[in-house]
Each structure stands twice: as structure tokens, then as C-alpha cells.
A and B are shown apart, each in its own frame.
Chain A
Amino acid sequence: MTYIPKPRVRHPTLPTNALGLTRRDYEGSMSTLCAGCGHDSITAAIIEAAWELELEPHRVAKLSGIGCSSKTPTYFIGAAHGFNAVHGRMPAIATGAEAANPDLTYIGVSGDGDSLAIGLGQLCHAIRRNVDMLYVLENNGVYGLTKGQFSASADVGSRAKRGQVNRLEPIDPVLLALTLGGTFVARSFSGDKAQLVPILKAGIRHRGFALVDVISPCVAFNDHEGSTKSYRYTRDHLEAAVEADLVLPTAEITASYDPGAARAVTLPDGSVIRFRKVPDDFDPSDRDRTYAYVRGRQEAGEIPTGLLHLAPDAPDHHDFLEMVETPLVNLSFEELCPGADALEDVLAAFR
């Protein structure tokens, strides 16, 4: 927690984006998290991604559940819309909001407790429905806000600060999303913005549900020896398996011809995700192979990171529901609720 208000002054050469905004304009209020929390670094990465993508702050909706991680939307894009849902229920709120107004950019932030324990069912269905949003899972292996109990992502053998050893099998969000048909599945580390920022940008641009599992050490309750989510452990075991970056349609796209690029995938909006490094034989669109690859690396004691799976053209939430083109928020009351006579007609069709 920091008591010094962050000064308004900024570096005189701080660049502005096409909207005339600096990175500082994408900040929110001062973080109240513990000094050194990985979540704060992720916040900084989200700020950077939003600035680089030139998102209009008032066209962004931030959603979260309960937890230290879920507090962080307050700390970025102060001028955006926000909704702090009850514990684990953010996916339902996001699904509803996105159904009503697909024109906003949805950024959901949750924790491993919020997403994998109380909210597991909610997360699963949002993945299945392919709700168009970025879903950042700030994964520290503990319930930070309630003082460090093991969460469902704690590894077998991981030792708590007080010495207890976790014996329960973890839920791995990446493997979970692959199982459920996730269309954008990535893992990264709060301490590696060079990797994280492009993934967040690509996730925002992806049409569909973009799950980004970010290892985010909890300095207060899970950064000790014996923890498998500490800064030290993560650095020692991290394997940047896939390197990818996003090239916006406005930029000159030379990506597909870049000889250094292993592969380039064009998104429906025309931007290109350029894979700069992938493991031998790796195909980000082949989810079975990715599943096997991730499991294999984990067995070998590594934490493979990067944009691991991508299905850019899969049907999303609106396609499944065969929604009208016009966002629901833009329909008149009469169109949304055409009255008893219209209901009669509908019912008549089933008779």
C-alpha cells in the first residue's frame, strides 16, 4: 500500500498515441496492493497495451470478481466503465454486458481463487460460449485477499508460508481452456512485460474469449522458498516457448513475409499475430498437440509460456445465439419488448 499520491507530473518527452493520450492517461487511482505484488505489474502491462492499441477509455468496460486481483481494475483506465461482481460471478456479468453491447472492449480481471474455485463453473461457460472479452487470470496460487490460503491452482508439493504442503491436484487454467474449446489461450508472467504486453494486445483484438493466465507472485503470502509461484521459482522454471506479437492493420503489414517469423495469423479485424518463435512441430491452431506439449513440458518441470493456442475464426457468443446485427443497447424499447401481441405470435408458432 502506498500513501504518497502519485504526482501528476510526467516525463516531458512521454509520447502520445493517435488520440493524443499518454500512457499516464490510462492510469487509474493509486494501487492499494502490497508493494511488489505481481498484480501491479500486470496492471502496468494492461495500461501499456491499452495505450498502444489507442483504446478510447470511455469505450472500455472493466469487470472483476473478488480478490486482490479483482481490485486492480480500479488502478487502470480511470475513465472506463467498471463492474465489480460478487465472488466468482464476473463471467456472468461480462456475458450479459457483452450480449447487450458488443461494441465496448471488455477487460475482465480475476484471480485463481475467483476463477478456479468459487467461480470455476462461470469461467467454464464463458469459455464455451466464446464471449468476446479479454480475461486476465492473475494467478498467484493463493487467496491473497484472505491472507494466503492455498487456491485451486497451487501445485502438488508447494509449501505454504506457514509450512503446510499442498497435496491436491491443481486446476491448470490453460489446460482447462484447451479442454473446453478456448479460442485464445495464453500464459505469461507478471515479471516479463516484453512477452505479456503483446499477448494482452492480441487478446483484446481477438474476437472471442481470450484467456491469459499470468503467473503473478504474491509477495506477502507466496514468495518464499518452497512456493512454486514465487519470483525466483517462476524465473528458474519459466520457458518462453512461444513468442508472438501483434501488428495492427494500420501498420504496414510485412509480417507474413517476415523470414524470421515462424508463422503469421490474420485476425478478422485485419491485424496480424506474428509468431516469432515456436517449438519444433508446434501449431498454435492444433489444440490436441498444444495440450500434449504443455503437459509434456510441465512433466519436465517447466512452465511453458506464450500464446499457446489460437483459433481466430471460431464462432463467438453472438454467432451461437444468432443475435441481431444492431447491439441490443441500440434497439428501442418497442423493438426489444414488442408487447403481448408479438408474444402471442411467437407462441402460436410453437402450437
Chain B
Amino acid sequence: MRPTDVSDPHYYHRVVDCQWGCPAHTNVPEYIRLIALGKYTEAYMLNRYSNVFPGILGRTCDRPCEPACRRTRLDGEPVAICRLKRVAADLRDDVLELLPRIPEKKNGKRVLCIGAGPASLTVANDLMPLGYEVTIYEALERAGGLMWNNIPQFRLPPSVLDEEIDMILDMGVDLRCKHEVTSMAAVLEEGWDAVFIGTGAPKGKELDLPGRWEAAEQINIGIAWLQSIAFGHIDSVRERVLVIGAGNTAMDCCRSALRLGATDVKVMARKPRPLFKASPWELEDAEEEEVEILENHSPSRYVVEDGRLVGMEFEIVRWHEPEGGGRLKKEVLDTRIIPCDEVLLAIGQETAFPWIERSIGIEFNEWDMPLVDRTTFETTRPGVFCGGDAAWGPENIIWAVEHGHQAAISIHNHCQKTPVEERPAYGQNLVSVKMGLHEWSYSNNYDEAQRAEMRYADLKERLGSMAVEAELGFDLERACQEAERCLNCDIQTHFTDQLCIECDACIDVCPLDCLTITWNGEEAELRARLTAPAFNLDQPLFASGPLPHTGRIMLKDEDLCIHCGLCAERCPTAAWDMRKSELLIPYAGLAAGSQHPDRRGVGVAG
């Protein structure tokens, strides 16, 4: 193996599994330490710097960081990263003073965002402080996109949503509501310096089975139905409700139905539970509220009698994996009619671009999706960018935010006449956390410790109204207990090969058998002859240069390191040191490491 280059910011970044898993690369361990220190405002601002909507995301994020979390490999359950984020948002002070200052003198560039979802709002958030004039055209009556018109209030209170959206709009964004764009050509005529398409995937999928159109008012498309609730157009539902689909939209539909008065709500899934799209915690929350979830039920027709929907027929199925892989094959075992009074369809969303003319240089692919560059977010028409759900179909808020950041970088490049392909580099700070002979500036609890449980509003009270927030958030005791579970993966074991005397102290003391001194070889072969063989190929192997005494090399399997610091504590020569790595992320107009406006006055922890 060649010696690992730890000066590449992405090596240590990858060790911080949560941050690596987060699309926006939120510095999770640092904000968790800030929470442990009671610095909630700082923790909030550190979050805002990468993910823009900490209060919203602290309640609703899809949490790709959590399955990635190192703690899972230790005791089976990730750190409750998302819920700790909410703690920072709930307990912070007023942050208005800490928000970026907006220059009075504008830079003369006018940027249009179409749609006011999280993707567009992030673009505005990044460009306004640079002096851009940003306008948003939004079809509906207010900003927020699906965050306000689909995510129900019992998961995301309007006050939280409004406050974080206003932080951006109050930068002076020119928001034009009820301004649906019906012709892209016309918009381009308006002479913007750049245009960002952030219109989401607004079309709910149809399930056109026999009977669909005979009792149409009893059958609704989930996202349109949720939107009508948000608008106040719907405030009741029939008694027995079937929700078709097992994704997160289905979960919001079934839980909303309960709150609007349904007495019997079933979620009908075609596939078995392990294949459900819904997050495990959403499934648990729905079941806690006594929603019944049935798997392996494939809908075959709507049962309509005398013009009234009275039930739905399902095939009871079993799924087989075809030999040699490929799509699962369905075997029908039986059919069954389940009575109901209303059906909600939650089987997916699509993008729709009837308003973009196909003759204006924006090319579409065979699925009628615009061709968008994965790095620059530029369409095939220079100066027109696209991100969020509009780019490649439905994702989630945190991806929309990251798309927004990247698109903002491109828009800035475009307006400054820099090629959009020229991406600003990431950087890294690396600082020893040694405080004294045996003192390190961090602590964690690496023995098995249960993940803290969420507190919920009383079930009855919760189901009484759409407006009662179901989750109450962690109290301080739980927050501190959970913060200690974080292993501080950014406190890196940093090795200096020229200092090592090959005393074996680190090898002997490492509780997880991460370290090996041996003769160099090919990586695959080395992985097999480590102190503990390392077969998790997702996790890197660190290799040092030749050690001065024997020419052997030091190897470290990053997989199970708990960052306890014992190797550094035991090393007589400080060849191992614990150093905090900070990934420096570039944003539009801000090179990595330059003072980000959100980080003014933000102290560091650890």
C-alpha cells in the first residue's frame, strides 16, 4: 500500500461517518460537543452554516447520517444526531444578530429562482450576502415548498418553519407568491443573469385501476390531499381509510387521517416490510398511533357499489428473487377485499415540466427529465441551473439544501465569468487536542449505552389535532446523555511515522484491535493479516510510510476505532496524537476556511 495522504481533506472527513453521510457535510461531532457544553446558539449556527434549516431538519430530516454513524457498529444504535440538532434549535438564543449581513450596495447581478422550496431558499441564502438581487417566483401563496404544504404540522410546527424561512426572506429576497411560471421562454426574456429551477416534483402518481373514476371524490392523491389540509380546504375525512403505499408520504397521510377523525386507518403495502421506503422511525410512530400496516397486499381494483366506494380488492402476494438478480417476481396467492370509505394514493411523485419549452436549449432525456450536470447543476442551457427534487426526482430536504449550495457556487461562477466546472477546493484544519500530559479536550462514553428515547405528547391529545406536535424533543438530561454517546469521530488518531520506535504499546492497548505493525503488501492481502482482519471495505485502511527501526509499516483499520485516544495516551514518543480535523467547506464566494458569516463569534468546542 502507498502511505495514506491525510492532508487530503477527504481522508479524515470519511472517518467522520455521519458528516460523510450527510449530503451537506454538517459537522455533527462539533455541534454535539457544543450542545454538551450548553452552547446551543453556537451549535445552531454551526448547523445553519451547512444545512440552513436546523430547526426544520432537527424534526424532519431523513437522517442519512444515522445509519452511517460509527456508534451503530459499536452497540447497534446510532447517536440520535437529528434529535440533538433539534435540542440546539429549541434551546438557542435569538440569532438575528449572528445572521449574515446583507450588503446595501448590490453587485448588479439579478438571479431568479423558480419555486420557493428548500433548494431555491438555499440558493438565496448563499447569494444574498454576496450582493446578488434574488427574486423567487412561487406558484402558491407562500414560501417553503413541500415543507409547508405537505409535511404536516404535527411533525413540523409552523412557527419553526416560518422563523427559518424568514431568516432568508428577510435578507431582502424578492418573493413573488401566486406567480406560477407557465413559460420558461418568457422568463428567459426577462433578462436574468442566472435562473435556478427549484420547482420540486409536484405531481403525485395515479393508480388507474378498474373503478378509479366511478367514485372519484372518495379517492385522493396523497400529496394533493395533504396540500389541501395545509391550505385549510380539507378538515375531515371518512371513517375507514386505506392508504396505498409505504413511503414517508403514506405515513403522513395515515397519521393526518387519524387526526381528521378517521377511526380505522390501514396502510397497504405491496412489498414486505424490509423493502418499505418509509423510515423506520416513521413506521414506528404510525404504529404507535394504532395505524395498521399490512404488507404483501397488491391493489387490483376499487370496489364501487351504486356509485359509492365501499372497498378495495388486493392480491395477497409473495415475492421471489429471480435467479441471477433483477426485479422481484410476484406470485399471487389469493385475493381479498378490504372495506373502506376513502382511499389515499401515496405511491410516488414525479416532476412535471409542461412549462419549459423544448426549443430553448434546455434538453430533456427519455423520461422527460431535464439533463442536469451532477456537479455543476447546470442544464444544457448556460446560465440555467436546476436542483432539489426537480433535478432527479424526489429526494429530501437535506439533499435539496446541498443542491442549493452547489448551484449557488455555479451561479456565482457564471456571473463572475468563471467556468462553472471550476469548483472551489475543500480544506482541512488539524489541531492537537492534547491539553496536558494526560488530558485531552474531549470525552465520550464508549461502553455500551442505550440510545435516549424520544418523549411524545399524550396519544389522545396528539390525535385530537393536526397542530399538536407529536414529538416533544429531548429534555436536557437526555440530551446530555445522548451527547456522551457520540464518539467524536473527528478527533482523529494522527500518526507521524518518523517518531515511532515500534514498542507495540499502541497495538497492545487498543481495545478494538485496530492497529497492526507489519510488512507492507497489497491492500487486499494486508486486510486479511491485520491484528483483527478488516473486511468492511467501506471503511478505509490507514497505512504509514516505512518505520525508522525496521522498515515495517503501521496500519490502522478505521472501521471500529472508537477514538478513545488510548493509542496516543500510551505512545511514548507521541507518534500517535489525537488531532481534531475540521473539514473546511467552500460556499459561493467563500473559499474553504474563509470566515463564513454564520460563524462570526462562534466558539469551538474540544
Binding site for B on A (CB under 8 A): 1-4, 6-14, 24, 34-38, 40-41, 43-44, 190-191, 193, 217, 219, 223, 231-232, 235
Contact = CB atoms under 8 A, between A and B. Distances in A.
Interface in B539-589: 549-550, 560, 562, 564-566, 569-573
- In the complex, which of the residues B446, B448, B504, B562 has the most CB atoms of chain A within 10 Å of its own CB atom? B504
Contacts of B550: 235
Given A13-B533, A36-B573, A235-B549, A6 B509 contact: yes
25 contacts: A2-B509, A4-B564, A4-B566, A6-B509, A7-B564, A9-B446, A10-B511, A10-B513, A12-B73, A13-B532, A13-B533, A35-B570, A35-B572, A36-B501, A36-B570, A36-B571, A37-B505, A37-B572, A38-B503, A41-B503, A41-B505, A43-B508, A191-B504, A231-B501, A231-B503
B438 A3 contact: yes
Q: DSSP class of B's interface residues: helix, strand, loop or mixed?
A: loop
Per CB-CB distance, the 9 closest pairs between chain A and chain B, nearest first, are: A36-B572, A44-B508, A36-B503, A3-B438, A7-B446, A219-B572, A41-B504, A35-B572, A11-B532
Interface residues of B, number: 32
Interface in B470-519: 501-505, 507-509, 511-513
Given A9-B74, A38-B503, A44-B504, A231 B513 contact: no
Given A11-B560, A37-B503, 4 more contacts: A2-B438, A6-B511, A191-B504, A235-B549
Contacts of B522: none
A142 to B, nearest CB: 16
A2 B508 contact: no
A1 B437 CA distance: 10
A7 B447 contact: yes
B569 A35 contact: yes
A190 B74 contact: no
Contact of B566 (A2, A14, A232): A2
Contact of B503 (A2, A14, A191): A191
Contact of A193 (B504, B511, B512, B560): B504
A35 B571 CA distance: 6
Nearest to B513: A11
A71 B578 CA distance: 29
A7 B565 contact: no
Nearest to A236: B549
A7 B562 contact: yes
A232 B501 CA distance: 8
Contacts of A3: 438, 569
Contact of A231 (B549, B564, B566, B571): B549
A319 B310 CA distance: 96
Interface of B: 73-75, 438, 446-448, 501-505, 507-509, 511-513, 532-533, 549-550, 560, 562, 564-566, 569-573
Contacts of A232: 501, 549
* A interface: dominant SS: loop
Nearest to A36: B572
A23 to B, nearest CB: 9
A12 B76 CA distance: 11
Given A13-B533, A35-B505, A235-B549, A7 B571 contact: no
Contacts of A231: 501-503, 549
A12 B511 CA distance: 11
A36 B73 CA distance: 29
A216 to B, nearest CB: 10
Contacts of A34: 572
A4 B569 contact: yes
Contacts of B533: 13
A305 to B, nearest CB: 15
B507 to A, nearest CB: 8
Contacts of B512: 9-11
Contacts of B565: 4
B362 to A, nearest CB: 51
B493 to A, nearest CB: 13
A8 B511 CA distance: 8
Contacts of B562: 7, 9
A35 B501 CA distance: 12
Nearest to B438: A3
Contacts of A191: 502-504
Candidate in B512, B513, B566, B570 with the most chain A CB atoms within 10 angstroms: B570
A194 to B, nearest CB: 10
B446 A219 contact: no
Nearest to A38: B503
Given A4-B565, A7-B446, A217 B513 contact: no
Nearest to A231: B501
Given A191-B502, A191-B503, A235-B549, A2 B511 contact: no
Q: Give the most central of B501, B564, B565: most A CB within 10 Å.
A: B501
A35 B508 CA distance: 11
A1 B447 CA distance: 21
A231 B550 CA distance: 11
Nearest to A48: B508
B505 A40 contact: yes
Nearest to B535: A13
Contacts of A37: 503, 505, 572
Contacts of B73: 12
A219 B532 contact: no
B530 to A, nearest CB: 10
A138 to B, nearest CB: 14
Contact of A9 (B448, B505, B532, B569): B448
A226 to B, nearest CB: 16
A43 B438 CA distance: 22
Contacts of B503: 36-38, 41, 190-191, 217, 219, 231
Contacts of B560: 11-12
Contacts of B448: 8-9
Contacts of A2: 438, 509, 566, 569-570
A231 B499 CA distance: 13
A36 B505 contact: yes
Nearest to A30: B509
B576 to A, nearest CB: 10
Nearest to B443: A4
Contacts of B569: 2-4, 35
Contacts of A35: 505, 569-572
A193 to B, nearest CB: 7
A12 B438 CA distance: 28
Contacts of B573: 36
A160 to B, nearest CB: 19
A219 B499 CA distance: 14
Contacts of A4: 438, 564-566, 569
B318 to A, nearest CB: 34
Contacts of B502: 191, 231, 235
